[in-house]
Chain A
Amino acid sequence: MRETSKAPERPLTEAAQVLSRIAEELSRVSTRLAAQAEDNSPEAELLGESQKTLTALSEKLGQWETREGDTAAKQTAQLRHRILQDLLRRGPALPIELAAATLSLPEEIQPVLQDLAREELIEIREVRGGHLVALTVRGRQEASR
């Protein structure tokens, strides 16, 4: 099967991860600076405030990232289920047919198909002009549950 492009699959989640790392780093820097500044000086107070804000931001981003991860995992599980059900109901299919039948894009189902093949729930056979996806015995049992 063709390789997918290297563009990030979930750009918002990746941006959140980067921001979270930056916030953590800035928080550490402001802690160090606050320690160096004179006690009770306005600069030390400002740095202390910034450090609290950055820590809170980092935590919020972390929570959002976890929620996003959960949603993506749920969507993947749903797509897996739909693929297995479609193969059980209608028999072997071309990957493009599976993408359309599950209302997904080819690049969305490709990693899911590879996972299912790795778990031996489906087999991807070569045919002239493409590939054919079919359930294995294990996949049939899984889909029938």
Chain B
Amino acid sequence: MTTGEAVSPADAPGSDETSPETLSGYAQLWWQGVKYGELGSLPIIVGLGVIVLIFGLLDDTFLTERNFTNLLLQMAAIATIAIGVVFVLLIGEIDLSVAFVSAVGGVVMTLLIRPEDPGWPWWLAIAIALLCTTAIGFVQALVITKAGVPSFVVTLSGLLVWSGVVLILTTQASEVGTIRIQDDTVIGIANDFLSDVQGWIVAVVVVAAFAILQVQTARTRRAGGLVAKPTVVMVLQTLGLAAVTFAAVWYANKDRGIPKVILILGVFLVFWSFIASRTRFGRHVYAVGGNAEASRRAGINVDRVRIAVFMIGGFMAGVGGIMLASRLRSVATNTGSGNLLLLVIAAAVIGGTSLFGGVGRVVSALYGALVIASIQNGMDLLGLASGTKFVITGLVLLGAVLVDAYAKRRRVARGMA
């Protein structure tokens, strides 16, 4: 439950002999954790490596700058919606309605900015759309908590209801069932790119902020006489982050640049990571997912936490829906349908968030979305048939769940879960 890179003290179980104050001790503890099933982000890094290798070999265009920026564009909405799903999974619940709730967000915004009808400004339309999707999360959570109906059933009926609402709204507004977006700002959300210089500035700010946060955390911990991360590890992690960030900006700049939507995603990732790992509310989210009864006895208002989490799910679905609408420059009767739901839940799970609650990090939404989008993108390039794509995506999800189950068995075998 710390911020930062794959390796964090919380991921490394304590040991009798090794001290986490030195680099070798830190690495030893981390490796010990991996062996005992505290895999962290390791499977994702390995998985991404394999994907890049396979598709890079099979298709010449996969590793091009052009495709890299495309990939970022495709990944953004999935990751955004998956952030909300991570929160819902953290409390041990599920939200099957996110895809159509995201569609509701996209449709409501699109309808409100239609020129002259009613021709609202883009910011107001977006605010109303997000208000709607957050309210949907609130209402669904109210049924789940107050009536005691499992979230699976409530959000399953939500899936039907909101798909119906999307159909009604789109067919009423347009005979052909497709509504085009004509507002340049809204289209720009998922179609504009940062300039080269802007991209570099963002990269520098991200790395600097990470480094400063690390140093500050270590300083306050040492000042309080507590064990802190060794400086070498902090330097290595910062260098690692810098390498990835700068490489990404450099490569994207060779094409059109870093998409604006990635910046938006980044802001949400940082914000929700902060909420999850550094605030009282975040702590309560993990506690409710780990042991709801203990949380209740500890005086945590469990229902309120649940409701807030489903509202986060609805809100982030709305944001993702707006990104998707912007990218396609339109909404249609089939918005939110297809495999969107499966992709976002798969992204959260593949990223390392447990389906059983209490385990996972916000950033796993990004990792999972990267994997899922890479596979989709690679298969599109190879021109695979829809059926084949479904089969492969399904197998990848199964593989991720199996890795999780295996890791959990290792933890159980050692009495750690």
* Mutual binders A and B: no
Q: Which residues of A contact B (CB under 8 A)?
A: none
Q: Which residues of B contact A (CB under 8 A)?
A: none
